[in-house]
Amino acid sequence: MTGTARSHAKGFKPEAKKHLGQHFLHDGGIIAMIVQAVDPKPGDHLVEIGPGQGAITFPLLDRHGELTVIEFDRDLIFPLTDGARAHGTLEVIHRDVLTVDFTALANEDKIRLVGNLPYNLSSPILFHALDHAAVIRDMHFMLQKEVVDRMAAGPGSKVFGRLSVMLQAYCQVIALFDVPPGAFRPPPKVDSAVVRMIPHAPDKIGIVDHALFARVVRDAFGQRRKTLRNALSQVCDGAAIEAAGLRPDARAEQIEVADFVRLANALAASGAVLAEPGKS
The residues near 217 (Cβ < 8 Å, ≥ 6 apart) are 162, 165, 166, 260, 264
The amino acid present at 137, given as its one-letter code, is R
Backbone angles phi, psi at 47, to 5 degrees: -130, 120
d(Cα 250, Cα 130) in Å, to the nearest integer? 29
Q: CA–CA separation, 232 vs 243, rounded Å? A: 14
Q: Are strands 171-179 and 66-70 parallel, antiparallel or unpaired?
A: unpaired
Q: How far apart are CA 189 and CA 181, in angstroms?
A: 7
71 carries a ligand binding annotation? yes
Q: Which own/partner contact pairs does 218-222 have at CB distance under 8 Å and 24+ positions apart?
A: 218/162, 220/162, 220/252, 220/255, 220/260, 221/161, 221/162, 221/165, 221/252, 221/253
Q: Is 25 annotated as a binding residue?
A: yes
Considering only CA atoms, which of 69, 49, 68 is closest in space to residue 125?
49
**Residue 182 neighbours by CB distance under 10 Å:** 11
| CA separation for the pair 170, 139 (Å, rounded) | 13
Q: Is 23 annotated as a binding residue?
A: yes
- 176 labeled binding residue: no
Residue 96 labeled ligand binder: yes
Half-sphere exposure of 274 (CA within 13 A, CB side): 15
Annotated binding site: 23, 25, 50, 71, 96, 116
Annotated binding site for S-adenosyl-L-methionine: 23, 25, 50, 71, 96, 116
